[in-house]
Amino acid sequence: MAWSGVDGGVTRTEIETALGMLKQLEPLWANGQDNVLSTGYLGQAAHDAGLLYEVTGDIRALDVSIQVADNILALQNANTPGGGVTIWTGAKDSVWPPGNLNPPEGQLVYAGCEQGLIVGNMVQAANYILKSPCLWHKVPPVFQGPTVFNESATYYDRALAYIKAADDTYESFFFRFLDSNLSIIQPNDPRWDLTGDSRKSGTPMPWNRRMLVLHGYIQLAIAHETPAAFDAKKTALYDTIVKRNVMDFLMALNEQKSVVNGKMTFNWDYSAGEEGHTEESQGIHAYYDQLGSWSAWQRNSAVFGLSNYIGYTFANTFENTISFGNGSFAGLVTGDSSKKAYTVNQLYAGWSFYALWLPDWFKTVAEANVASGFRGRTWLAIPLLWTKHALAVNDMTFWSGLFSSGFGVVVGTESTSSRGSSASGAHSASPRLAATSTTAALTSLVLLAAAILLQAT
| 8 Å CB contact between 213 and 177 | yes
Burial call 6-44: b when 16+ CB within 10 Å, e when fewer = beeebeeebbeebbebbeebebbeebeeebbbbbbbbbb
pLDDT of 293: 96
pLDDT of 398: 77
**d(C-alpha 411, C-alpha 14), whole Å:** 32
pLDDT of 407: 44
Is residue 275 classed as helix, strand or coil in its secondary structure? Answer: coil
pLDDT, tens digit, for every residue of 355-390? 999 999 999 999 999 999 998 899 999 999 999 999
pLDDT of 416: 32
Three-state DSSP string of 81-130 = HHHCCCCCCCCCCCCCCCCCCCCCCCCCCCCCCHHHHHHHHHHHHHHHHH
| 8 Å CB contact between 321 and 241 | no
Q: Can you give the pTM of this predicted structure?
A: 0.89
**d(C-alpha 119, C-alpha 133), whole Å:** 22
Q: How many CA atoms lie within 13 A of 438 on its CB side?
A: 17
Domains of the chain, residue spans: 30-228
Q: pLDDT digit of tens for each residue in the chain (457 aa)?
A: 999 999 999 999 999 999 999 998 999 999 999 999 999 999 999 999 999 999 999 999 999 999 999 999 999 999 999 999 999 999 999 999 999 999 999 999 999 999 999 999 999 999 999 999 999 999 999 998 999 999 999 999 999 999 999 999 999 999 999 999 999 999 999 999 999 999 999 999 999 999 999 999 999 999 999 999 999 999 999 999 999 999 999 999 988 888 999 999 999 999 998 888 999 999 999 999 999 999 999 999 999 999 999 999 999 999 999 999 999 999 999 999 999 999 999 999 999 999 999 999 999 999 999 999 998 899 999 999 999 999 999 988 877 655 544 443 333 333 333 323 223 323 222 233 334 444 454 555 555 455 445 444 4
**d(C-alpha 350, C-alpha 295), whole Å:** 11
